Amino acid sequence: MSALGVVFRKELLDSLRERRSLLSALLLAPLFGPILFMLITSYAVNLQIDEAEQPIDVPIINGQGAENLVSHLFRRQIDVDHERFADVDALRRAVRRAEVDVGLVIDRDFGEALARGDPARVWIVADRANNTARPAVSRLRAALNEYGRGIGVQRLALRGVDPSLARPLAVLTDDVSTPSARSVLLLGMMTYFLLFSTLLGGTQVAIDTTAGERERGSLEPLLTLAASRAELVWGKIGVTFLFMAVSLAICIASFAIAVQFLPLAEIGMTASLTPLVCVGIYLVMLPFSVLGAGVMTIVASYTKSFREAQTFTSIAMVAPPLPIILVVLNPVQPSLPLMLVPSLSQHLMVTELVKGQTFDPLHLAVSAVTIAVGVGCGLATVRRYRGEAILV
The residue-averaged pLDDT of 253-270 equals 76
The residue-averaged pLDDT of 114-131 equals 86
Q: In the chain, what is the greatest distance between 2 CA atoms, to the nearest angstrom?
A: 100
Mean of per-residue pLDDT scores for the chain: 81
Beta strands in the chain (DSSP E): 56-61, 78-81, 102-106, 122-126
DSSP state of 76: T
The residue-averaged pLDDT of 84-89 equals 84
Distance between CA atoms of residues 296 and 207, nearest Å: 8
Q: At residue 343, what are phi and psi to the nearest 5 degrees?
A: 75, -45
Distance between CA atoms of residues 317 and 387, nearest Å: 26
End-to-end CA distance of the chain: 31
User: Quick one: pLDDT band at residue 192, thresholds 50, 70, 90?
Assistant: confident
pLDDT at 176: 67
Q: What domains are defined for the chain? A: 3-46+179-391 (no CATH), 54-166 (3.40.190)
The residue-averaged pLDDT of 96-121 equals 87
For 215-252, the pLDDT digits (tens) are: 777 777 766 766 788 888 898 899 999 999 998 999 89
Contact 234, 273 (CB under 8 A): no
For 141-186, the pLDDT digits (tens) are: 988 999 888 888 888 787 777 777 777 777 777 766 666 666 666 6
The residue-averaged pLDDT of 337-356 equals 87
Contact 63, 74 (CB under 8 A): no
**Cβ contacts of 182 within 8 Å, gap of 6 or more:** 268, 269
pLDDT at 196: 85
Distance between CA atoms of residues 352 and 140, nearest Å: 38
**Dihedral angle sign, alpha carbons of residues 218, 224, 230, 232:** negative
Contact 273, 358 (CB under 8 A): no
Distance between CA atoms of residues 70 and 6, nearest Å: 80
- 103 beta partners: 125
Q: How far, in whole angstroms, is CA 192 from its chain's centroid?
A: 7
Rounded to two decimals, the pTM is: 0.71
**Cβ contacts of 154 within 8 Å, gap of 6 or more:** none
- 56 beta partners: 78
User: Quick one: pLDDT band at residue 48, thresholds 50, 70, 90?
Assistant: low
Position 170: which residue type?
Answer: A
Position 354: which residue type?
Answer: V
In the predicted structure, residue 1 carries a pLDDT above the cut 60: no
DSSP track, 307-357: HHHHHHHHHHTTSTTHHHHHHHHS-----TGGGGSTTHHHHHHHHHHHTT-
Half-sphere exposure of 36 (CA within 13 A, CB side): 14
Least confident piece of the model among 33-47, 50-64, 234-248, 362-376: 33-47
pLDDT at 327: 79
For 280-321, the pLDDT digits (tens) are: 999 999 999 999 999 999 988 888 777 788 788 888 888 877
pLDDT at 49: 63
Is residue 158 classed as helix, strand or coil in its secondary structure?
Answer: helix
Q: How far, in whole angstroms, is CA 140 from its chain's centroid?
A: 30
Distance between CA atoms of residues 45 and 30, nearest Å: 23
Is residue 59 classed as helix, strand or coil in its secondary structure?
Answer: strand
The residue-averaged pLDDT of 42-67 equals 76
**Cβ contacts of 277 within 8 Å, gap of 6 or more:** 353, 354, 356
Is residue 241 classed as helix, strand or coil in its secondary structure?
Answer: helix
